[in-house]
Amino acid sequence: MISNMKKAKRLVKKNKAKKRKAVKTFDPVKAARLNKLTRNARRFLHRVGSILSAVLLWFAVGLAFFACLDSLFLPLFPGWQAHLLSAILTVLVFPPSYRMLLKGLRRLSDSLRQALIFWSFSCSARLQPSSEKLGSQVLSSLCMALAPQSAFLWLRDSSLHQFVLVAKRGASAPEGGIPEFQVDFLPNAATGKPFFLTRDSSFFHPDLKTLLASLGTEVAIPLVYQGYLVGLLALSKRRSGASYNAAGQKLLVRLCGQAAIALSGMRLIEERKRHSTRLSTLLRLYTEAQEKAVTDGLTGLFTHAYFQEQLALHCFEANRFREPLGLMLVDIDHFK
């Protein structure tokens, strides 16, 4: 018995020592530094790999260009002259053509990336159950395409006569909505044209301008569908520091046009659901009121006025269709 107790105490001491060692070995500062070093090493290796792949691609394409020219000039000139002429033309013609090729590839990759963003948004927009979820998906697509530091989306609420914040990314936004007249103050807002806070500051309502400036907004885009202002989108500066150029503005207008179509449809569906809920509630209340109007609250029996109404109705039907009608009166005492 004593030996068993000693063994148990030894096991408890060993477990405590192991826990202390485990606690001592874990250092959150060292773990954070290790994670940072790992991330930096991955970025460095990625950059080195990108540079090496670009150099190898440039060398391979240049060599192929030289080989094509050499095969063309060999039948016309002697060996060394053909090689020399091919090398000179490669040095003179290949760099600008390579730049044009890279420029075309970048444009193609940008077009494919934009097409992928539009396709993913159109596929995911149909699966969203509410306008808030759809607004979050809109901001996710915009952040994927343009990478702003923060983004905010307000949608019009006709019952409250204001624009309500439904989705945000990045910085926090103040509570409450934006009155309708402040957004309608924008000139030609129904066209969906983007407005820059610094360049087009005179077009903004003073209160709206103050709110957008406090959020760090650089560009504001009205969401318009068939001339109706659905919402307002505000984007801050891009993470890369680049400005919203013509290509970025074009992409922004196209994506906002799709978002306006999807959001307006979702708003109509939600409004129809609210109307159907209100109608069902009114129908239920009317049915309950009608039942209470013809029944006695104490006994649950029909009232005398309801009896007179039903008696007149059945007498009229019996007289019209020439059908026999019987009436039985029963006097019940002490039923209350």
26-40, 109-123, 204-218, 265-279: segment of lowest average pLDDT: 26-40
What confidence score (pLDDT) does residue 96 get? 66
Confidence band of 23 (pLDDT split at 50, 70, 90): very low
**pTM of the entire predicted model:** 0.60
- Output the six-digit token pair for 273: 């659901």
Report the share of the chain in percent with pLDDT over 70: 71
C-alpha separations of 42 from 16, 96, 98, 266, 310 in Å: 38, 33, 29, 43, 87
| CATH T-level fold of 128-271 | Beta-Lactamase (3.30.450)
- CA dist 148 and 240 (Å) reads 8
Q: Which sign does the torsion angle of CA 22, 23, 24, 29 carry?
A: positive
DSSP strand pairing (228-236 vs 151-157): antiparallel
Complete DSSP assignment for 214-282: HTTEEEEEEEEETTEEEEEEEEE-BTT-----HHHHHHHHHHHHHHHHHHHHHHHHHHHHHHHHHHHHH
Per-residue pLDDT at 279: 92
Contact present, 325 and 314 (Cβ < 8 Å) = yes
Partner residues linked to 315 by β-bridges: none
Give me the mean pLDDT over the 196-203 stretch. 80
Distance between CA 25 and CA 29 in Å, rounded? 12
CB-CB contact of 142 with 255 (8 Å) = yes
* CA-angle at 111, arms to 109 and 115, nearest 5°: 115
pLDDT of residue 86: 58
Using one digit for the tens of pLDDT, what is the confidence trace for 217-274?
889 888 888 888 888 899 988 887 777 888 888 888 888 888 888 888 888 888 888 8
pLDDT number for residue 330: 78
